[in-house]
Amino acid sequence: MEDEAREFLIKIMQTISIILLWMMVHVFIGIYKGYAFFEQKPHWTNWAYYVILIISFLFLIKHLKRKWAL
């Protein structure tokens, strides 16, 4: 296999892996631990979860942009 094609496929697999890992972590924390759901009104832990979710998503996008930059 050519080196360029191999590097491209590795980059694709690493991108898929990091996105799936990010999603699994946030599904576990949000759904299984219950931080994604409000009971009567939002608690500070719900707000903290969503702030961390958004910040980590922005860092994920920044990381992927840097990885795919030519």
Distance CA 70, CA 68 (A): 6
Quote the pTM value.
0.86
Q: What is the pLDDT of residue 1?
A: 72
- The mean of the pLDDT values for the chain is 94
For the residues 4-28, what does the mean pLDDT come to? 96
28 CB neighbour count, 10 Å cutoff = 10
pLDDT at 60: 97
Q: How confident is the model at residue 39 (pLDDT cuts 50, 70, 90)?
A: confident
Amino acid identity, position 13: M
Decide if pLDDT at 34 tops 80: yes
pLDDT of residue 3: 87
Question: How far lies 23's CA from each of 5, 41, 48, 70, in Å?
Answer: 27, 25, 17, 26
